[in-house]
């Protein structure tokens, strides 16, 4: 048990991104002081120093999988630790995201209204050069939710969401719902598809996807590739796992682009990797 008796616990998985984690912790101390926060550090023992002296924080260390970062497994470890501590509501927040002033309270209210749902909040992507304000209340001025996801008005929820739009940047789940879902499928390692898979599991098991107004998070900028060629091997491996589980391809836009670039060949139920991220050819 943590010294603060809370029924809500926040979980963040991290490897690197120390500056982003510091900002996340700074804003959390402002908007939700004392809320227990479990940080699952994947092959990153320096995290202990990043959050040293913060009493509401627990760090759990997980070693790297030989194939890459064990994102699915790390999230499961964090949620299980939260539930063992007595949490009834777990909020998972990506390390790149800082919470808006009402993120925690909005998820809490939504969980009371629809306790058997998978709850997602809107995320604003901050442009390069836009820093997190000193005063957390000023985050509201930056709100510009990602247009591909619903963004209900504050104090409202949008029910019956499309499970294909589930993302792991910011979401919340009650303990009983997590038990029904069974967590992330840990055969996914590295980047891509593990959150798409959880959304599919939710659909199959009758768990509603609900978008929560007011539960805003703000994604701090970092460079990205489009498509994310540095994650090519992970994406191919994880897409193949998803096909085996669901007989559909996830991440179809990225796979289409990789195919157009001549990096992969897609066949029924199979992806052949033709060229690696550095352009070197590999045997089909």
| Model confidence pLDDT, tens digit, residues 14-55 | 999 999 999 999 999 999 999 999 999 999 999 999 999 999
Return the pLDDT at 280.
56
CA distance 56 to 79: 16
Q: Is the pLDDT of residue 282 over 60?
A: no
Q: Which of the pair, 5 or 117, is modelled with greater confidence?
A: 117
DSSP structural state of residue 281:
B
pTM beyond 0.75, yes or no? yes
Q: Is the pLDDT of residue 276 over 70?
A: no
CA distance 65 to 210: 33
List the one residue out of 55, 102, 95, 98 whose CA is nearest residue 78: 95
Q: What is the mean pLDDT of residues 196-200?
A: 98
Q: Is the pLDDT of residue 281 over 80?
A: no
Q: What is the mean pLDDT of residues 98-113?
A: 96
Return the pLDDT at 226.
83
Per-residue pLDDT of 215-224, as tens digits, reads: 999 999 988 8
Return the pLDDT at 180.
97
Would you place residue 4 in the very low, low, confident or very high pLDDT band (cuts 50, 70, 90)? very low
Q: What is the mean pLDDT of residues 180-199?
A: 97
Residues 6+ apart with CB under 8 A from 52: none
Would you place residue 269 in the very low, low, confident or very high pLDDT band (cuts 50, 70, 90)? confident
Return the pLDDT at 268.
84
Per-residue pLDDT of 222-255, as tens digits, reads: 888 888 999 999 999 999 999 999 999 999 999 9
**Mind giving me the DSSP string for 173-231?**
EEHHHHHHHT---TT--SSSSHHHHHHHHHHHTTPEEEEETT--EEEPP----SS-GGG
Return the pLDDT at 3.
34
Per-residue pLDDT of 142-177, as tens digits, reads: 999 999 999 999 999 999 999 999 999 999 999 999
């Amino acid at each position: 048990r943590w010294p603060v008796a809370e029924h809500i616990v926040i979980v963040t998985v991290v490897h690197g991104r120390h500056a982003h984690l510091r900002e996340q912790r700074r804003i959390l101390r402002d908007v939700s002081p004392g809320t227990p926060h479990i940080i699952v550090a994947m092959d990153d023992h320096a995290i202990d120093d990043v959050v040293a002296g913060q009493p509401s924080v627990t760090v759990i260390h997980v070693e790297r999988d030989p194939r890459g970062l064990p994102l699915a497994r790390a999230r499961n470890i964090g949620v299980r630790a939260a539930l063992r501590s007595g949490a009834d509501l777990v909020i998972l927040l990506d390390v790149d995201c800082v919470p808006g002033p009402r993120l925690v309270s909005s998820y809490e209210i939504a969980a009371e209204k629809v306790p058997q749902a998978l709850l997602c909040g809107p995320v604003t992507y901050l442009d390069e050069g836009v820093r997190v304000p000193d005063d957390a209340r000023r985050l509201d001025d930056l709100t510009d939710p990602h247009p591909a996801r619903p963004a209900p008005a504050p104090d409202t929820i949008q029910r019956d969401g499309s499970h294909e739009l589930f993302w792991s940047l910011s979401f919340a789940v009650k303990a009983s719902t997590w038990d029904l879902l069974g967590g992330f499928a840990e055969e996914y390692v590295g980047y891509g598809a593990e959150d798409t898979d959880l959304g599919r599991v939710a659909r199959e098991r009758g768990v509603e996807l609900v978008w929560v107004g007011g539960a805003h998070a703000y994604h701090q900028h970092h460079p990205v590739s489009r498509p994310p060629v540095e994650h090519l091997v992970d994406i191919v491996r994880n897409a193949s796992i998803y096909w085996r589980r669901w007989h559909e391809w996830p991440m179809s836009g990225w796979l289409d682009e990789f195919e157009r670039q001549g990096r992969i060949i897609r066949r029924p139920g199979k992806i052949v990797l033709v060229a690696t991220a550095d352009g070197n050819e590999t045997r089909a």
